A = this chain, B = another copy of it.
Amino acid sequence: MPHRAPGAPDGAGRPDYLTGKPITYYRPRGSSELRTLIDEGFQAFNAARLSEACRIFSDKMLAPENDTTIGLTIAGALTPAGLGGCIVELMERGLVDFVISTGANLYHDLHYALNFTLRRGSPFVNDVDLYEHGIIRIYDVLFPSKVLLETDAYIRDFLERIGVDEPIATSELHYRMGQDLLDQQPGCEEYSVLAAAARYGVPIYTSSPGDSSIGMNVASHALLNGSRLMIDPNRDVNEVCAIVLAGRQNGCVILGGGSPKNFYLQAQPTLWEVYSIPKGGNDYFIQFTTDQVVWGGLSGATPAEAVSWGKVNPGGLPDTVVCYCDSTIVFPLFSEYAVGSKWGRRSRKELVHKRDDLVAALKREAEAARDMPHQAEGDPETMPDLERHR
């Protein structure tokens, strides 16, 4: 048997799971020391990609003359990890114009808004033991299962309180939820993405509306209370298309990948492929991910591949960057850099209040395009013909 150092402890002893520090919404402060490190010390490999992403965002996407409409997409458990503070800061400063998030990130944001405590922990714990003790684990974030039940109770109360009885967009549901939080928990825009988004007029969309505890409770409201409140995905699709169509320039910051990435990126193909509207692809594209292109999925697909779909402007590839790193490390660094940059505050677009007008404009353009001969098929001389198997 391998020798053991004399007196080495044996690792036994039952851990007390909920003793780690509470996780809080850290707010980036624009550290100049960090800026120096990113500019001078991050010179190659993914460090250089992060450095490029910081400069593309701060020097180009935020430049007033470009007036870029900026979408932020969020996948992966970022609010449980305390990254909501970066998102709040970017929204408050006008650096992000709309958000597409998984439902889970918004659901877990509610724990913060409602002042429930999530704690730092370890991923190396016994899940059967956690289960016995009613503790929920998100990788290394731990909290009592009561947090889920109380958060669900809030959602159900909210759904009854607002009295909506028809299909609505997720942007509308989230806006109303944010306003409700501002009412119920004054000041919570400091520690809630949903509340801050409502305060600062940032629409938040969810591409998979049934796919979180928020969606589960909406479904329960329909089943048990006979409510006709439901999410209307059509409205979501058309609102995002309308926002992108209205952008002078367009750019995105993609955290992770997943269906929020796809939901954002499909706006341009919807315009040319479905609505026959000749709007080009994204001018700027920043992604932080740990997925890889070689697995073939959309999460890991490159900006180059997106060019072939019209999602990214072919001439814009120099302004695209993918940095392969866990968002929990790079998103705070990126946010610090942006906050401390020359254009670290923009006037907010407050798109949540302009959604109806933008969709109306989209409808007008699409109707006009429908009445025109179809332009979207390219040059018949060079386009490959359609082949059929049989």
Contacts and interface: CB of A to CB of B under 8 A. Distances in A.
Contacts of A10: 128, 314-315
Contacts of A41: 26, 28, 82, 85, 332
A294 B46 contact: yes
Number of copies of chain A assembled together: 4
Interface residues of A, number: 175
A43 interface: yes
A377 B147 CA distance: 11
A256 interface: yes
Nearest to A270: B216
Interface in A191-230: 191, 207-213, 215-224, 230
A2 interface: yes
Interface stretch (A174-182, A348-356, A382-390): A382-390
Contacts of A313: 4-5, 8
A236 B218 CA distance: 12
Interface stretch (A61-69, A91-99, A277-285): A277-285
Nearest to A217: B274
Interface in A363-390: 363, 366-367, 370, 375-379, 382-390
A207 B210 CA distance: 7
A314 B131 contact: yes
Interface in A228-278: 230-238, 241, 256, 258-259, 262-263, 266, 268-275, 277-278
A34 to B, nearest CB: 6
A35 to B, nearest CB: 10
Contacts of A47: 81, 326, 328-329, 332
Interface string A99-132: 0001010000000100111001001100110111
A329 B259 CA distance: 23
The 7 closest A-B pairs by CB, nearest first: A2-B310, A5-B280, A1-B378, A9-B315, A210-B233, A44-B81, A26-B41
